[in-house]
Amino acid sequence: MSTVNLTMAILLGGLYAGGFYLILQRSLMRILLGIVILGHGANLMLQLAGGPPGRPPMVGDAAPAMMTDPFPQAMALTAVVITFALTTFLLALAYRAWLLLGHDEVRDDLEDRRIRRLERRLAESEEDEEEMETEATQ
Amino acid sequence: MTALVALPVLLPLMAAGLSLAFGRFADIQRVLGLVVLGAIIVNAALLLYVADVHGPIVLQLGGWPAPLGITLIADRLAALLLLVSSVVTFAVLIYSIGQRVADYGRGTSSTTFHPIYLMLCAGVSLAYLTGDLFNLFVAFEIMLSSSYVLITRRTTATRVRPGMTYTIVSLTSSILFLTVIALVYAATGTVNLADLAQRVSELPDGLQSSLGLLMTIVFGVKAAMVPLHFWLPDSYPNAPAPITAVFAGLLTKVGIYAMIRTQTLVFQHESTWQLMLAIALLTMIVGALGALAQDDLNRMLSFLLVSHIGYMLFGLGVYDIAGLTGVILYVVHHITVQATLFLVSGLITRHTGTVALSRMGGLAKAAPLVAVLFSIPALTLSGVPPFSGFVAKLALLQAGVDAGTWAAYGVAGGAVLTSLLTLYAVARVWSRAFWGRPQEPAGDPDPSDELVVGTGTTSPAMMVASGVLAATSVLIAVAAGPLADISGRAAVDLMHGETYRTAVLGGGAGG
């Protein structure tokens, strides 16, 4: 079994790292770009699983020994279509979020907001107590 | 005969197209959906019978021989889960039709709901029946893409965010799945599960376990095992009740099913699997404690869902025939129970207009039928005898004790504790929501109350659907004997992959 060449390995690493970095951002547009890049990374990986790049997958273009495995290419084709469909879906979702909220930022989750509300209430009640104490001392 | 294996996937797919074409005729859409899903129940029952009596039914798509083409296979496990899932999807469809009628009247149709729901059912069926790793990815994508649309349909400003979280997390895990498939293919040169079983065992140990672990992570995200569960309590409660019910009942279990299938068939373990046991314990405890901390009914149920995923991982971690029998029983019971609970929670919130437990009260008097419908799945979930949860939990605990290692004892203890915590959590719902006096709506609404849809009326169809599911879970307890036998035989099949491999690759073929 042949090893993957270094350029491809570095490229794959770059695509995955960049993709995950972008997914961790707050704006939905960047997350979307991250997913697109990750999808490219995964598809490239599938291609490489079939053999070194640059070889023909079709019968008749080269001797069987010099051909690449066509099966991963078929899988990559399916995966490309799926990633494409989901990218358009995410774009629509980002647009919807922008229409509804005026921005496409991913908000804090419900629990975070609840905790913040609780914190605010506690702070208010503490202030009340302090006021009462100061009134009492006066 | 072999066509039976393809029908659970083909029927809903074709019906989805027809349903979209009849978008303006609400009644035609409804009848079509019910007929198709009803047909799948019959189909799945037939499959289960044939698979149990004559062994796995295999269909090589397009007539391509096994390692080259795509294989569909219905063995005992797949057929059993397909049967339970189709009962749930059928009942949930009745419920959502009822909800639609109660909210908007009989004449209106929602154009997109029915086609997408049928697509989701097709994806779930394909995930159970496929015998090919890449096809499993496609099945997940069909299922998940439909679920993205269902969870973000009719979004309001508050609903957009949970929908985003769900979509992004699922997409990321799908891409990871694709990556794992690429790695597996690079290492073995095949994606057919039966063929993989052979080839993977020839790989070096380190490579085997790293591929197996990657696979566990991918399915762990889908199945919401701790620490990969964070997205679930955040996103599920925000969908309408019937959609949450079908997600909670089916999607996580499909993840568990994929995990069971790959870990038994492809990545065999020698003995009890310590890492999985540790994760199982963590999942149970974290989920149960999370549930106790919630005041929001739906979020509490979501945490309970996470906690009970731990039981299934426990059986997988024990990794012997008794353990796997327990897992299968547990999955069957949990699919129906969790779906029922979310449907009933939809009924409760329609009566009270809030999801906050602290603001409910007096429901037992106001809606006695809902109280009965809640009490059955609640007691079942916490494993009180004589309900089905007790049977499944008992099987798991016995397997854990029989395994005899200190880790298995520990997790069995954790499982008992989690049962008690679950009982406490549902008892808390009972005392807050069903007893006491109805409360006045408070001036300061809870942030999650923005998510409550449609209050007041419930239609009989919703009650009937919840009742049917609750009755199914009781029926599971009644039929526990035969069910345990079938689960046992399915577990034997899982532990000895030979049946599966010969069925797919033909006698004597071995790669």
pLDDT band at A45 (very low <50, low <70, confident <90, very high): very high
Domain boundaries, chain B: 3-439+449-505
Long-range contacts of B9-14 (CB under 8 A, 24+ apart): B9/B72, B9/B122, B9/B125, B9/B126, B9/B129, B10/B122, B11/B36, B11/B39, B11/B40, B11/B43, B11/B122, B12/B36, B12/B37, B12/B40, B12/B118, B12/B119, B12/B121, B12/B122, B12/B125, B13/B118, B13/B119, B13/B122
Burial of residue B95 (number of CB atoms within 10 Å: 0-12, 13-18, 19+):
buried
- In the numeric block, the tokens 């989920």 are attached to B287
Compare CB distances from A42 to B162, B178, B185 and report the shortest one's residue: B178
Beta-carbon pairs below 8 A across chains A and B: 97
pLDDT of residue A96: 86
pLDDT per position as a tens digit, B382-434: 888 888 889 899 999 999 999 888 889 999 999 999 999 999 999 999 998 88
Q: Which residue of B has its CA nearest to A49?
A: B186
Contact B83, B40 (CB under 8 A): no
Collapse the DSSP code of B238 into the 3-class scheme (helix H, G, I; strand E, B; otherwise coil) and give the result.
helix
pLDDT per position as a tens digit, A87-113: 999 999 888 888 888 877 776 766 777
Each of the 511 residues of chain B gets a pLDDT tens digit; together they read 788 999 999 999 999 999 999 888 888 999 999 999 999 999 999 999 999 999 899 999 888 887 888 899 999 999 999 999 999 999 999 999 998 888 877 777 677 899 999 999 999 999 999 999 999 999 999 999 999 999 888 777 777 878 888 999 999 999 999 999 999 999 998 999 999 988 998 999 889 999 999 999 999 999 999 889 989 988 888 888 899 999 999 999 999 999 999 999 998 877 778 899 999 999 999 999 999 988 889 999 999 999 999 999 999 999 989 999 999 999 999 999 999 999 999 999 888 888 888 888 888 888 889 999 999 999 999 888 888 889 899 999 999 999 888 889 999 999 999 999 999 999 999 998 888 777 765 555 555 555 555 556 778 889 999 999 999 999 999 999 999 999 999 999 998 888 898 888 875 443 3
Q: Do A48 and B186 touch (CB under 8 A)?
A: yes
Q: Do B175 and A49 touch (CB under 8 A)?
A: no
pLDDT per position as a tens digit, B430-486: 998 888 777 765 555 555 555 555 556 778 889 999 999 999 999 999 999 999 999
Compare CB distances from B186 to A42, A49, A109 and report the shortest one's residue: A49
pLDDT band at A134 (very low <50, low <70, confident <90, very high): low
pLDDT of residue B153: 83
Interface mutation vs chain B, best among A86, A103, A108, A112, most B CBs within 10 Å: A86
Residue A2 in this model has a pLDDT that exceeds 70: no
Q: Which residue of A has its CA nearest to B149?
A: A89
- What ipTM does this complex have? 0.85
